[in-house]
Amino acid sequence: MAPSYKLTYFPARGRAECIRFLLSYGNLAFEDVRVPHEEWPALKAQAPFGFLPMLEHEGKKAHQSAAICRYLAKKVNLAGKDDWEDLEIDAALPLL
Ligand SMILES: N[C@@H](CCC(=O)N[C@@H](CS)C(=O)NCC(=O)O)C(=O)O
């Protein structure tokens, strides 16, 4: 069966690595698509905001690495236990 998550990014760690970590931590199988830079211009128009990373799941497309990480952190029980801990986690993120 095909993985239910598909992560698309460039052949780099960059803004996708935290997403890869969370998917792997949660044993959530995912297709790890790494678009060669020379192929990107032809695909850019299909990305929701014209940039990567993009996470696809059940026919939906998500963008913005921090938002994707928050979503996955909840899925794999790594989110804060309350709003204050969520704030502290967000504050620890680099500017994205
Ligand atoms: N705020 C976005 C920024 C995404 C972003 O800047 N992506 C860059 C790669 S790190 C990109 O897609 N560059 C190609 C382009 O803009 O055409 C996020 O965190 O996901």
Please tell me the pTM assigned to this model: 0.93
CA of residue 24 to ligand 1 center, whole Å: 22
- The count of structural domains within the chain is 1
Q: For residues 36 and 96, which has the higher predicted lDDT (pLDDT)?
A: 36
pLDDT at position 81 over 80:
yes
Which of 72, 79, 50 has the alpha carbon at shortest distance from 8? 50
Q: Report the residue among 44, 52, 54, 61 best suited for mutation to probe ligand 1: largest number of ligand atoms under 8 A from its CB.
A: 52
Say whether 80 sits in a helix, a strand or coil: coil
Ligand 1 atom at minimum distance from 64 CA? 20
Q: What angle do CA 58, 60, 9 make, to 5 degrees?
A: 105
How far is the C-alpha of 18 from the C-alpha of 58, rounded, in Å?
A: 21
How far is the C-alpha of 16 from the C-alpha of 68, rounded, in Å?
A: 10
Say whether 45 sits in a helix, a strand or coil: helix
CATH number of the domain encompassing residue 48:
3.40.30.10
Order across the sheet with 54-57: list the strands: 30-34, 5-9, 54-57, 60-63
pLDDT digits (tens, 9 = 90+) for 5-18: 999 999 999 999 99
Show the domain range for 52: 5-92
Q: Backbone phi, then psi, for 60, in 5-degree steps?
A: -110, 155
